[in-house]
Amino acid sequence: MWEPGIYVLRLSHRKERDKRVTTHVMLTARAFGAKGVFYSGDEDPKMEEKIRDVVARWGGPFEVRYEPDWLGLMKRWKAEGGFVCHLTMYGLHIDDCLDEVPRDRPVLVVVGSEKVPRVVYELADLNMAIGHQPHSEVAALAVFLDRFFGGEELRREFEGARLKIVPCRRGKKVIKLEG
């Protein structure tokens, strides 16, 4: 059983076509307060390594897991008491349904790539739209997490970080932390 919090499921990753966008989905999930990410489609160890490298340098906790059986994951998630929220431009406006997302249960936020199978719409506890215009699963996930956490996620301290940024009006300042 998963602990309460947000996890992300990225559907049907295609190694060549999606490698940068899926990486952006995963880094956004981590930076904006999700606990981990699953992905289906092509297994992509290089991409996983890139994410784990960010976690090693910038801190965690954050998990990445390949899950070819995304349908089984969604079904198990619900059977074990979790909540499934699918982000789609066809869903209910975030303003009208964000409070339906529980804070005391594990939440699986599902983001697709091009074409999402109908069963996802049917199995989801909630189909939520971050606006009803075509844009980006990265943008949708970022705004969902920013609003769900009320901006607190951008002030979080990451555990085990070796690098930390000192905010700067101009230029770059990074400090190295002792392990």
Task: Show the tokens assigned to 31.
Answer: 């930076």
**Which position among 56, 165, 175, 177 is part of the footprint of a copy of itself (CB under 8 A)?**
165
The correct pick among 49, 96, 103, 176 for binding a copy of itself (CB under 8 A) is 96
Q: Which helix (H) or strand (E) holds 22?
A: helix 15-31
Interacting residues with a copy of itself between 46 and 65 (CB under 8 A): 54, 58
Q: 42 and 67 in contact (C-beta within 8 Å)? A: no
The region of 1-9, 76-84, 103-111, 171-179 touching a copy of itself under the rule CB under 8 A is 171-179
For residue 25, give the H/E element and its range.
helix 15-31
Which residues neighbour 132 within 8 Å (Cβ) at sequence distance 6 or greater?
89, 90, 93
Please report whether residue 135 would count as binding a copy of itself according to CB under 8 A.
yes
Three-state secondary structure call for residue 108:
strand
Does position 32 bind a copy of itself by CB under 8 A?
yes
User: Which of 94, 101, 107, 109 lies at the binding interface for a copy of itself (CB under 8 A)?
Assistant: 94
Distance CA 120, CA 174 (A): 42
In the complex, the residues that contact a copy of itself under the rule CB under 8 A are: 17-18, 20-21, 24-25, 27-28, 30-32, 54, 58, 89-96, 118, 121-122, 124, 127, 129-136, 138-143, 146-147, 151, 153-155, 158, 164-165, 167-174
